[in-house]
């Protein structure tokens, strides 16, 4: 692992890449809206001058391309097999959204080992000519890959809903981070709240309990109200910010992007910092 990490660091040094902001969107529990947040946040940040790339890390069960109503000819498996360069698998959807599909229904992707995932991420981080912000959309659950991405990213957007099972899964993720001595920049998003008061109360309660028992500082980034337009957008395969820009959920997402732009922090070590954290180097 140390030899591999050193080789990757040297590669990045040789390219003298500028700082790149890396965001991981996660939530532990499935169905909390991680992919919708990742995709629409990408659009919102693009509107604010950022060059974003969404990478679907729900390997073998990817859905970002489905939500965009498009499909790329190649996905991450092509890079793993060595038949395509990372630039060849970048798709472009509505509003110029750039994305990479994790592939669907492929056992080779579902069972990727850590070394293969490391190679993929290293190539992704050499895409400074394409993007200055990479957004990793993780799958459900708590895996070693997800924990590595969280520990290495500049920011982790933790998406949860104001209901007990979603809270418990999100808290379990934070607890594991604490046990692993991972101290990420976590920004909490409450999704599918019925009212602003419910969202604020849920965020305060979660942050209070999580910080008390994990010792990890968590900031509230904001909330997204329950909105039927979100479901309709998924069915239409057109992102919410494009299909229903005046909806309450769309306004919430725009505010999340504004808030993120105001408080975001970019690691001064850029790609090198990400690699060191990803592979455990110093």
d(CA 37, CA 45): 12
Helix %, strand %, coil % of the chain (to 5): 50, 15, 30
For residue 130, give Cα distances in angstroms to 50, 86, 102: 11, 11, 18
Residue 180 or residue 103, greater confidence: 180
Q: Of the candidates 78, 80, 87, which has an alpha carbon nearest to the alpha carbon of residue 128? A: 87
Burial call 37-64: b when 16+ CB within 10 Å, e when fewer: bbbbbbbbbbeeebbbbbbbbbbbbbbb
CA 49 centroid distance within chain: 19
Residue 277 to residue 154: CA distance in whole angstroms: 10
> So what's the architecture of 28-263 in CATH?
3-Layer(aba) Sandwich (3.40)
Question: What distance in Å separates the CA atoms of residue 253 and residue 230, rounded to the nearest whole number?
Answer: 11
Site of tokens 């009212």: 195
- Global pTM value: 0.84
Task: Give which of 54, 147, 139, 62 is closest to 95, Cα–Cα.
Answer: 54
Check whether 168 has a pLDDT greater than 80. yes
* Cβ proximity of 264 and 155 under 8 Å: yes
pLDDT at res. 58: 77
Q: Is 269's pLDDT higher than 50?
A: no
Measured CA distances, 60 to 12, 66, 76, 102, 137 (Å): 28, 13, 10, 6, 13
- Give the start-to-end residue ranges of the domains of the chain: 28-263
Residue, of 172 and 274, whose pLDDT is higher: 172
pLDDT tens figures, 215-260 = 899 999 999 999 999 999 999 999 999 999 999 999 999 999 999 9
pLDDT, averaged across the chain: 83
pLDDT mean over 65-81: 82
* Segment 30-69, tens digit of pLDDT: 889 999 999 999 999 999 999 999 998 876 666 888 898 8
Q: Using N-to-C axis directions, what is the helix angle for 270-279 and 2-15, rounded to 10°?
A: 170
Whole-angstrom distance, CA of residue 177 vs CA of residue 27:
13
């Amino acid at each position: 692992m140390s030899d591999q990490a050193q080789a990757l660091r040297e590669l990045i040094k040789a390219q003298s890449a500028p700082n790149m902001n890396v965001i991981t969107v996660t939530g532990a529990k499935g169905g909390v809206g991680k992919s919708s947040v990742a995709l629409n946040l990408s659009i919102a940040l693009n509107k604010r001058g950022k060059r974003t790339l969404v990478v679907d890390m729900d390997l073998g069960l990817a859905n970002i391309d489905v939500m965009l109503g498009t499909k790329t000819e190649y996905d991450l498996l092509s890079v793993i097999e060595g038949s395509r360069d990372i630039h060849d698998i970048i798709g472009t959807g509505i509003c110029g959204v750039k994305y990479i599909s994790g592939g669907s229904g492929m056992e080779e992707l579902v069972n990727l080992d850590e070394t293969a995932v490391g190679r993929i991420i290293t190539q992704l981080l050499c895409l400074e000519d394409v993007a200055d912000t990479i957004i990793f959309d993780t799958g459900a659950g708590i895996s070693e890959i997800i924990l590595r991405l969280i520990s290495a990213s500049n920011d982790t957007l933790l998406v949860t809903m104001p209901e007990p099972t979603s809270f418990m899964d999100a808290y379990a993720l934070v607890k594991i981070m604490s046990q692993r001595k991972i101290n990420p920049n976590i920004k909490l998003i409450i999704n599918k709240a019925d009212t602003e008061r419910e969202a604020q109360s849920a965020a305060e309660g979660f942050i209070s309990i999580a910080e008390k028992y994990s010792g990890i500082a968590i900031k509230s980034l904001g909330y997204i109200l329950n909105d039927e337009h979100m479901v309709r957008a998924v069915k239409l395969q057109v992102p919410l910010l494009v299909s229903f820009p005046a909806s309450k959920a769309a306004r919430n997402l725009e505010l999340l992007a504004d808030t993120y732009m105001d408080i975001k922090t970019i690691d001064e070590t850029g790609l090198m910092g990400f690699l060191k954290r990803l592979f455990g180097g110093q």
